[in-house]
Every structure is written in structure tokens, then in C-alpha cells.
Amino acid sequence: QSAKMWSGRFREPLDYDFEQWQRSFPFDWRLLPQEVAASRAHARTIAAAGILTPDELDKMLRGLEAVGQRTDAWAHRISATSGQPEYTSSTQQIGAAIVASAPQAEDIHHYVELELTREVGSLALKLHTGRSRNEQIATDMRLFVRDAIDQTLSDLRDWRTALISLAELAGDAVMPSYTHLQRAEPVLVAHWLLAYVSMLERDSSRFSDARVRMNFCPLGSGAVAGATLALDRSIAAEALEFTAPTPNSMDATSDRDFMLDFAQAASTLGLHISRFAEELTLYATAEFGFVDLPEAYSTGSSAMPQKKNPDLTELARGKSARLLGAATALATLIKGLPLAYNKDLQEGQEQIFDVADTLSGVLRVLPGFTSSLKFRFDKMQTAAETGYLNAMAAATYLSNKGVPFRKAHEIIGNAVRLGLDKGLELNALPLSDLQQLSEHFSEDFFAAISLRATLDCHDVTGGTATSRVKQALQEAKLRVLNM
């Protein structure tokens, strides 16, 4: 067997630098489980078409399974020589070892073929009957993205669970809400936290949608025009738990929309993560003082002994740039590519690996971080009680007395002005002062602008009234935790 998969028509050897540069094995070795699964599915398909005898199929499947265990074997070997526990060998270490072990492998497809030859001899050469690397890489990447989506969905559930528990712990604690980063109206802390649960639910639905859309099997599409054998494509589709075979071979071998969908959903999630991270970074400042950063998730300064820095939230905010970058790179890669397969597409793989690693990394720390947040409810409440956050409720009081809202707005504006001049909140202004502004003020005004009343007047679906938030929390628990 020649070292290359395609050397028959070539007389000259490849330029060494070009050969090394175009290889994808240094990064696509990560597709080993997917390549093995897809190859096993293809073996079943060609066996059904009479290309392999039942014995050969059996031998092939066992050989492929053994090849699939190469990464475990390397993890084992690395830990034996380094003395560190097996699970600590990093993806990079395993990758470096496996790539060094097969310098002649051009890509993961070539690697599996070479290793399968070591397992089952020349029978391995039959595996490529009726297939092309173009359909293989399209299939491997779909399988990879599908797993990454499942992982993300489960990680997102963990983070939402942490947010919901925190909202429950917050009870009826209050905080200011902001618009333009200026104090606006009081809200329940739980209401604020549930805002993130809503964002994450949309994120989950984006990932789930993408999963449904991508779950079709390219195997049998051949290089571009379809397999050259009358294969029953449903065999592989079923074996790999796809909904059905893809309907068009040209599209199937050149489509990378599923990668784009995943990266775009990831970058939207990244934006939400960065908004959360930004708020926590702000709220942990002495200027806000709403939250004590958990020490387990903070770092110190090598220079300034007093510091406790919010590295987790800063890094989480920074990771969103990578996700957005990957989505942009993929869109740019696909734009203007003629049908069907082009080698440019190889460039998309590392973006996807990076998206998957970035997401699983940040989502591994966020739930624990979220659960260990300690809010300073006293400071949040003080902030919610100062700065005229009840002005809208006050205007509503007047409009309930029959004053047109525009007029009520004007009167309360004057009251705020008066308060600012006297250094008093609305509820500290003498009733006689207020009555000079409007005859509609009476003693019941002060109850109407209390903190509780200010919250509870937002008694609409999605509003921050205590009873509404309680209900929203129950509904979120039902949706996310099924309880």
C-alpha cells in the first residue's frame, strides 16, 4: 500500500513544506471517535451491498473499534510514563502523542485507514469502497457538532439551575434596576436573575433548533455526485442516529451551515455570558458593593496586596470575543465558495473545536461561580431606596387620582426637583410641600410609594411584583428542573 491515498497519478513527490502545511491530522485527530463511528456505519452499508462478507464485516467492525481506542491507549501510556493520573492527560498531550505516532497520516481519514490496516491487514483496503473523504468529513463534523450541542445543552441546564437556586435564595430582596446605567426602578433580585434564565432559554432553543436542522447523514453522497454503488443510505443514517440521509449530494458534501449555526448560537450565548460577566464585575466594585466575589473564583494582585480581582468574569467576558470571531471566520469561509467540496472548508474545523472548548470551559466554571455569589442585600436595598426610584410609582399614584399621566409626570418631576434641593427622598417630603404642587396629594401617597408598593404596582405578566416573580420562579423551575 502506498503511503498516500491518492498517489497513483503522481510522478513527483510533494514539496515537504507544502505537504506538512496542508495536513489536517495535527488538529483533526480529535475526530477519531466520529471517524470510527462513521466508518463502522459505512462498513455495515457496504456489507449489505455485498462488498463485505459477514465475517469480513465482523472483522472490520472489531478492527475499527480497536482503532477507536487509540486515544485511550495514548492517555494510558502518557500517565504511565509521567506518573500522573490518566484523566489529567490533557487533550493537547494526547494529541501531540497521537500525531507524533503517525507522521505519514494526512488527515484523520488516512490515519484510521492506516491503523485499520495494522489491525486487519489488506481487508482494510475495502473500507473505502463507495465513499469519499468529502462525505466523511461532512459526516464527522456533523457528529462532532451534534455532541458539542448536547454537551452545551446540558451545561446550560446546570447554569440555569444555579441561577434559579440563587433567585430562590434571594427571596424578596430588592435592588435597583438601571436604564442608561442610571437608577431606574426597584426590582426583585430574583427578577434580575430570571432575566438571565430567559436569555439562556433562548440560547438553548437556538442550539436545539440547530440540532434538528443538521441531523441528516451525508454518507452515501460520495465525492460530489453520490456514491457509485447502489447503497442503502438508510443503514448508516440509522446506525449513526441521524433522522434520514441528506437529500442532495452536492449540498451534503459542501454544506457547513450546521457549523455556522452552532458557532452563531455560541456567539449569541457568548454575548449573554459577557453581559452577565459585565454586571457582576460592576456590582463587585466598591462603588456598587452589591456582591462579594467568592474567593475561590477570584485572584489577587502580585503588586497591590489589598486586591481581589474578578478574573473569572473578565475572562468570561473576553471569551465572547473568541466565539464571535469563530462565527465570523466561518461565515467568511463559506461566503462565495463554489459548489461542492473545496479544501478551504478544512479551515473551519479548528474554529469549531475552539468554540466547543471555549464553551465547555466557561460553562464548567459559571454554575459554581453563580452558586457561590454572596449578595449584600442591605446595600442593594439602600441603593433601591435612594435616587427617586419610586418616581414612576408616584406619578402612577396621581394618575390613579384622575390626573392625566403627562401632567402627573410633570408634578412628580417638580417634587423630585424639590427633593433634590432639600436633600430629601420623595417619601421624606412634608405633605404640605407636596400639596403646594398638586391638591391630589394626601396621606395615602406615602404608602403608595413605599418600596413594596413600588414593586408590587408592576402586577403584570413578566413584571417585578412580588407575586408575579414568585410565579415566574415556579414556572422557570418547572421548565428547567421539571419540578
- Give catalytic residues, as residue numbers: 180, 301
Closest CB to ligand ARG among residues 134, 454: 134
Binding part of the chain for ligand ARG, among 112-120, 132-140, 167-175, 177-185 by CB under 6 A, reads: 132-140
CB 275 → ligand ARG: shortest distance, Å?
A: 35
CA distance 135 to 481: 39
Q: Cβ of residue 152: shortest distance to ligand ARG, in angstroms?
A: 23
**Helix (H) or strand (E) segment spanning residue 374:** strand 374-375
> Does the footprint of ligand ARG cover residue 134 (CB under 6 A)?
yes
CB of 107 to ligand ARG, least distance (A): 4
CB of 256 or CB of 458, closer to ligand ARG: 256
Write out the DSSP string of 236-305.
HHHHTT-SEE-S-HHHHHH--HHHHHHHHHHHHHHHHHHHHHHHHHHHTSTTT--EEPPGGG-B--SS-T
**Residue in the shown chain whose Cβ atom is closest to ligand ARG:** 346
Residue from 129, 309, 346, 399 in contact with ligand ARG (CB under 6 A): 346
Is 107 a residue that touches ligand ARG (CB under 6 A)?
A: yes
How many whole angstroms separate alpha carbon 392 and alpha carbon 140?
57
DSSP per-residue string spanning 125-149? GGTTTT--HHHHHHHHHHHHHHHHH
Q: Let me know: does 135 contact 253? Beta carbons within 8 Å.
A: yes
CA 226 to chain centre: 34
Q: Which three cell numbers stand for residue 164?
A: 434559579
How far apart CA 235 and CA 46 sit, in angstroms, is 10
Q: How far does Cα 459 stand from its chain's mean position? A: 33
The neighbour count for residue 449, using CB atoms within 10 Å, is 23
Supply the minimum distance, in Å, between the C-beta of residue 337 and ligand ARG.
12
Based on the shown chain and the rule CB under 6 A, indicate whether residue 477 belongs to the binding site for ligand ARG: no
Q: Which is nearer to ligand ARG, 26 or 413 (CB)?
A: 26
Q: Which is nearer to ligand ARG, 345 or 480 (CB)?
A: 345
Q: State the number of binding residues for ligand ARG (CB under 6 A).
A: 11
Three-class SS state of 310: coil
CB of 321 to ligand ARG, least distance (A): 26
Dist CA 215 CA 218 (whole Å): 10
Question: Should residue 198 be labelled a site residue for ligand ARG when binding is judged by CB under 6 A?
Answer: no
d(CA 237, CA 20): 34
| 316 belongs to the binding site for ligand ARG (CB under 6 A) | no
Site membership for ligand ARG, residue 133 (CB under 6 A): yes
SS3 of residue 424 by DSSP: coil
SS3 229: coil
SS3 185: strand
Q: Is 113 in the site for ligand ARG (CB under 6 A)?
A: no
Q: Which is nearer to ligand ARG, 28 or 115 (CB)?
A: 28
DSSP string, 88-109: GS-HHHHHHHHHHH-TT--SHH
By CB under 6 A, which span of 33-41, 300-308, 339-347, 440-448 interacts with ligand ARG? 339-347
Stretch that binds ligand ARG, among 200-208, 343-351, 356-364, 475-483 (CB under 6 A): 343-351
Nearest to residue 232, comparing CAs of 438, 446, 480, 44? 44
Nearest residue to 267 via CA among 226, 230, 320, 223:
320
Nearer to ligand ARG, 102 or 123 (CB): 102
Among 137, 156, 199, 280, which residue sits at the site for ligand ARG (rule: CB under 6 A)? 137
- Window 20-49: residues binding ligand ARG (CB under 6 A): 24, 28
Nearest approach in angstroms of CB 7 to ligand ARG is 13
Piece in contact with ligand ARG (CB under 6 A), picked from 129-137, 267-275, 287-295, 467-475: 129-137
Between 75 and 259, CB nearer to ligand ARG: 259
Q: Give the range of 259-267, 345-353, 414-422, 426-434 binding ligand ARG by CB under 6 A.
A: 345-353
Regarding 345 and contact with ligand ARG (CB under 6 A), the answer is: yes
DSSP 428: G
Q: Which is nearer to ligand ARG, 106 or 261 (CB)?
A: 106
466 makes contact with ligand ARG (CB under 6 A): no
Radius of gyration in angstroms for the set of CA atoms belonging to the chain, rounded to a whole number: 30
Write out the residues near ligand ARG by the rule CB under 6 A: 24, 28, 107, 133-134, 137, 341, 343, 345-346, 349
